[in-house]
Structure 1
Amino acid sequence: MLKEKMHIAVPTAFYEDESLNIQGTIEHIKSLYSQGIQSVLVCGSTGEQHSLTLKEKLKILDDLVAEEELIHNMEIIFGVSSIRQKEAVELAKRIQPTKIAAILLGYPPYILPAQEEALIYAKKIIRFSQKPTILYNNPKRTGFDLSSESIIELSGLDLVIGLKEAGNTKRVLSLKREIRNKNFYFYAGGEMQLEEKVSLGFNRLSSIAGNIHPLKVKQWFIKMVSKQTITEQEKLEIASLLDEIYTGSPLAYVKKSINEKGITMGVCRSPLGNV
């Protein structure tokens, strides 16, 4: 079970020619760890996962697992999704014997599987990974919307511990009533409309802004979910930060900010970063 209420969805570092720079990604994770962050999501968010080949994903996994201090002291979540189920299963098999803490299970873009097909896809990946699993529903990006009935069915599996919902956030209210596992977590994807999402029942955060100001964002979120007072000054600082990040391409802004701190995060794979 994952203990951390917030993880940071870290970007993947690339060189100027858009080839993979794994060391840049690891350097950024080390920086977050040195600042007190205990959980990150790798290869699972910020819009880059489907630009990575299976070979690149396996290389990221192998190099990350070799970082003993990180792998033993952090909750590292690894994104598993592919337009081809066989490739997602192969990645899941490679994750299974490692110290990776959990997987984020996304759904294939574009091909629009039926709900039954998506259930089989999910169950196979979970079976081969044998890791705690967060389901990731993001219909705006993939075109596929995991139904409430499918979420409830998958929540009955022992390894399924939560849902990252980027679709109909309001259905969290009904899902909380219908899912029997009371320790089932609801992850907000990013910080936009976060107060509203918390009021609907979201109780965990997959953070983008935390890449730049990790402790400030974490403190803000922890106060929010624990119903502590958030000062007007804190609200103004967070609002300013979110305006900077979410005006335009958040990923391009995050990478630019990390580069400016002296960590080689590099570029986005085009067309992201064209502007």
Structure 2
Amino acid sequence: MFTGSIVALITPMNKSGGICHSSLKNLIDYHVLNKTTAIVSIGTTGESATLSQEEHIKVVMLTLEIANQRIPIIAGTGANATTEAIALTKRFEKSGIAACLSVTPYYNKPTQEGLYQHFKAISENTDLPQILYNVPSRTGCDLLPSTISRLSQFKNIIGIKEASGDLSRINQIKKIVKNNFLLISGDDATALDFIQLGGQGVISVTANIAAKEMTKMCSYALKGDFKNARYINERLSLLHEALFIESNPIPIKWLAKKMGLIQNDTLRLPMTPISSAGKVQLEKALQYANFQ
């Protein structure tokens, strides 16, 4: 359930900024239909930074309810305070979620020992499977391979979403972690190369609007059919890039609305609507992908 194309699901909102239940159902049904292997609910793409903890929990539980065991749900549970991350993680015990995705603490820039102690404390306070998440460009800290190796020794720390963009990390990590430790890309643009170098899949932003294509691309790649995988990936290449011309999830929400997957592309401040120039670039990328 933790291989292939896993979607970092956007959180659909109505015009007033509340959660749009009907759009959330539409998104989940779309991913079930197109064989996405799992959904990450309220990760950073799901706007965890601008949702209250009460809303965060509510959306994860609503996602579980709508999914109704048709697709595994991974809950985003990261925080820059260890006590908060533990409390959020424990809230989902016995809920039915498949795992937790826990981003490195942001802004406070912990040392490697601080990162180790943070994830160690979370692991020791829950039985839920934990997937580490390293995205230095957004958090201001980098979870290094040596620290990942130490953390991989905990039974319920099962893998990492690696989004540093450094493909050399894959081999570095593989050499020093337990054999069944999952390596999952967090960068759509390099996900295919990541899999070819030994990764098991991607937690994808692109999959929000190209679920079928990302599923097929990952499936081909995991079978070693890189010719067909690269054909699909080349069509999506402009989209992978265009989805980050403005801060995620601004572009992906606008495209999801344009494609009829959600009713509104509402964001919460300090996130603002896509610019006119951004729309032009996204239109070109969508046309190039040619999957409508």
TM range (shorter): 0.7 to 0.9
C-alpha distance 177-272 of structure 1, shift in aligned 2 (>3 A): same
Query: 1:186 pairs with 163, 167, 183, which one?
Result: 183
Q: Which amino acid aligns with 1:213?
A: A
Alignment partner for residue 135 of structure 2, among 126, 135, 138? Answer: 138
Structure 1 residue 247: Cα displacement: 4.0
Q: 2:73 aligns with which of 72, 76, 90?
A: 76
Q: Distance in 2 between matches of 1:30 and 1:7?
A: 14
Task: Give the letter for the 1:87 counterpart.
Answer: E
Amino acid of the structure 2 residue aligned with 1:79: G
* 2:256 aligned to which of 251, 255, 258: 258
Q: 1:32 to 1:195 in 2, by over 3 A?
A: closer
Q: How does 1:87-166 map to 2 (within 5 A)?
A: 87-166=84-163
Unaligned runs of 5+ in 1: none
What aligned pairs does 1:224-243 form with structure 2 within 5 A after superposition? 224-228=221-225, 229-230=227-228, 234-243=232-241
Instruction: Look up the SS of the partner of 2:132 in the other structure.
Output: strand
Amino acid at match of 1:32: H
Per the alignment, do residues 65 and 245 of structure 1 end up closer, same or farther by CA in structure 2, a change over 3 Å counting? closer
Question: What are the residue-to-residue correspondences of 1:40-51 with 2, within 5 Å?
Answer: 40-46=39-45, 48-51=47-50
C-alpha contact 1:132 1:159 (8 A) present in aligned 2? yes
Distance 1:265 1:83, change over 3 A: farther
Distance across 2 between alignment mates of 1:133 and 1:239: 30
Deviation at 1:50, TM superposition (A): 1.9
Give, in whole Å, the separation in 2 of the partners of 1:128 and 1:138. Answer: 24
What is the CA distance between 1:186 and its match in structure 2?
0.9
1:192 is paired with a residue of what secondary structure? helix
Structural RMSD (CA): 2.4
* Unpaired runs of at least 5, structure 2: 276-292
With 154-163 and 53-62 compared, the bigger mean Cα shift is at: 53-62
Map of 1:170 onto structure 2:
168
- Secondary structure at 2:143's aligned position in 1? coil
Distance 1:115 1:239 in 2: 34
Give the equivalent residue in structure 1 for 2:13.
14
Deviations 1:57-114 (A, max 9, x none): 12123323333xx242211111111122222212111111111001111122101122
The reply to whether residue 207 of structure 1 matches residue 204 of structure 2 is yes
Change in 2 beyond 3 A, CA 1:76/1:114: same
TM-score (norm 1): 0.88
- Contact preservation (8 Å) 1:54, 1:87: no
TM-score by length of 2: 0.83
The percentage of aligned residue pairs carrying the same residue is 24
Aligned residues: 271
Provide closer, same or farther for how the CA distance between residues 30 and 192 of structure 1 changes in structure 2, counting only shifts above 3 A: same
Amino acid at match of 1:150: T
